[in-house]
Structure 1
Amino acid sequence: MIHINKSNEHHNRLPTEAIDTLEKIQGTFPGARRAHAKGHYYEAIFTPTGNAKPYTIAGHLQDQEVPVTVRFSNSPPNPSAADFLSPVKGMSVLFHLPDGTTSHLVSTTVPMFVTKDPESFIDMLKTLTADKTGLDKVDLGLGIANILKKYPERKNIILALKEQMKQPPTSYALLNYYPIHAFYFVNRDGKRQAIKYEWQPVKSETKPSKKFSPDYLSEDLEYRLINGQVSFNLIIRLGLESDPTDDPTDPWPDDRAKINVGQLNILKPFQPKEKLLFDPTIVTTGIELPNDPILHFRHEAYAVSFNRRQKNE
């Protein structure tokens, strides 16, 4: 007799269920990501400061600059959505390491996640889409109100998201980006140090473009690259033993030690010849993943989405 592990069966179904639910928010757009569908790619260079060397042997955080692929994006699943309709933005970074491998950082402008387990996240999505109005559109205001009623303990995080939605950003180049999750740095002696990342913009004298078309953010970035430099510092915060590494809803206290480990310089736009997958669980030697259910769930959900993109579904 074959015994089916119901727990594993449920776990394996969650990523597909999440992607199916995301598709119900604004529909299905064949070949596009199920979230952050609208994006633009850029070539870049990352130059490490060397300040991370006591904590990790990661190849891109030593002494040698490395080429980078960057993608700035909007959050909706609609690849043609106007930039100003998506206050939450993303920046995905793929480091091309000297040994031929890659290491990824996937960030958004929100420093925390809405929940710490996949089941609650999927339920929040379903609650968001439970009341559709007009031409089968999601009423975000009503959906958020329903989520707050059902998950009052997530009030601060949800209200922070709602606050960010009030004011569309003026430029990709002026935003802070957060990979959300904790990671472990591992040094040459095998010592592990919990860290959290943050991309901080290096403010330049370049004035933003005055255009406000549906694609004004990519137009603004192109304007800035012609007239100046677009750069970000990569900051790490050193966690203490008391700081959780398995809870992406906890941003850690702001007084943790901060170290500048390198600078990212955007060079020029480009279009990759194949579909790329930015996966937050792809890290190089010297960086380890925590036991964070949402982080590992993202890996599985991204794979479902990427598979559908490859099939042009």
Structure 2
Amino acid sequence: MNNPNINHNPIPEESIEVLENIQGTFPGARRAHAKGIFYKATFTPNGNAIPYTTAAHLQNERVPVTVRFSNSPPDPTAADFLSPFKGMSVQFHLSDGTASHLVSTTIPMFITKDPETFIDMLKTLTAEKTGFEKIDLGVGILNILKKYPERKNILIALKEQFKQLPTSYAKLHYYPIHAFYFVNKEGNRQAIKYEWQPIEGTSPKNSEANITSADYLSEELHNRVKNGSVSFDLIIRLGCKNDTTDDPTDPWPDDRQKLVVGQLTLEESLFPNEPILFDPTIVTEGIELTDDPILHFRHKAYAISYNKRSKNE
């Protein structure tokens, strides 16, 4: 895989520097969501998306998939129970040799709608930190609330996540947070948002988590896949005329029409020999990007992180 081109914009470069300041630099690791496990999987579309998009993986044919489940910290050795926020990244491998990506997290929205504020929030989070001692996230979030009171509801929701330890990667709900446009064969565009919903249902209750080791989530998922199937429904929500498409802090009203457009099933563990890049802006024909500034910022920041870890920095 060739290294992606980097637009030397100081904002994504600064974001990587701030992330490195949180817990230090770990050569060869992602700057966020460093600890992860890979799976080979299959995605089976059901045809419900055909009226809205020509995307190859959302028609009638099964496609092979690579999936990565991850913890949010930049430390690849961090214990699973230290990270309530989890990620699920997917590459749909298309028959023409290309791929379409979908990058999700267990948080249904982002904390801000512009990169500059995001970087300032990270700096505020670490403002009282000197050296590489552990950050007091409670104090950091309180400081952000004082500086950005308009983000109160989102930050309180994030803080609540720390009270719930996940029981399994297979029983979490994942959200790509950004809006995208589906484009059908007539050229009509439909704003959508995705969700991954576990077939077995969600179960985030702290009391149910069986924490047997620092890697309890990867161990649990490995055993679950070995002994049976693990599947997720891919859901799209159809946006209405006045729904924002450039603001990832806006989750859209709950009453928007939802459609299940296919199902992903894990098959076996993978151990890739190269640093795989998951980029939410890599989409196939039939899907278009919105003008969301955070979405495009992530493309540039991920490219910088990818090149650093490719060089074992």
How high is the TM-score relative to the length of structure 1? 0.94
Contact 1:29-1:78 at 8 Å conserved across structures: yes
The whole-number CA distance in structure 2 between the counterparts of 1:168 and 1:211 is 9
The whole-number CA distance in structure 1 between the counterparts of 2:211 and 2:291 is 44
- Give the aligned partner of residue 99 of structure 1: 96
Amino acid at match of 1:80: T
Contact 2:35-2:71 at 8 Å conserved across structures: yes
- Give the aligned partner of residue 66 of structure 2: 69
Aligned residue for 1:276, secondary structure, equals: coil
1:119 maps to 2:113: no
- Give the aligned partner of residue 244 of structure 2: 244
The whole-number CA distance in structure 1 between the counterparts of 2:153 and 2:12 is 26
How high is the TM-score relative to the length of structure 2? 0.94
1:228 maps to 2:202: no
Amino acid at match of 2:260: N
Percent identity of equivalent pairs: 72
Deviation of the 1:134 alpha carbon:
8.6
Contact 1:88-1:110 at 8 Å conserved across structures: yes
- Give the aligned partner of residue 78 of structure 1: 75
Deviation of the 1:273 alpha carbon:
1.8
Contact 1:132-1:138 at 8 Å conserved across structures: yes
Is the alpha carbon distance of 1:184 and 1:312 closer, same or farther for their aligned partners in structure 2, counting shifts above 3 Å? same
Deviation of the 1:139 alpha carbon:
1.5
- Give the aligned partner of residue 219 of structure 1: 219
- Give the aligned partner of residue 310 of structure 2: 310
1:22 maps to 2:22: no
Aligned residue for 2:312, secondary structure, equals: coil
1:12 maps to 2:9: yes
The whole-number CA distance in structure 2 between the counterparts of 1:124 and 1:11 is 22
Deviation of the 1:311 alpha carbon:
1.2
Aligned residue for 1:245, secondary structure, equals: coil
> What is the aligned residue count?
301
- Give the aligned partner of residue 256 of structure 2: 256
Contact 1:87-1:165 at 8 Å conserved across structures: yes
Deviation of the 1:264 alpha carbon:
0.2
The whole-number CA distance in structure 2 between the counterparts of 1:72 and 1:20 is 24
Contact 1:209-1:223 at 8 Å conserved across structures: no
The whole-number CA distance in structure 1 between the counterparts of 2:134 and 2:213 is 23
**Unmatched runs of 5 consecutive residues or more in structure 1:** 1-9
Q: 1:42 aligns with which of 39, 42, 46?
A: 39
Q: What's the C-alpha RMSD, in Å, of the aligned pairs?
A: 1.5
Is the alpha carbon distance of 1:303 and 1:134 closer, same or farther for their aligned partners in structure 2, counting shifts above 3 Å? closer
Contact 1:177-1:199 at 8 Å conserved across structures: yes
**Unmatched runs of 5 consecutive residues or more in structure 2:** 1-6, 202-207
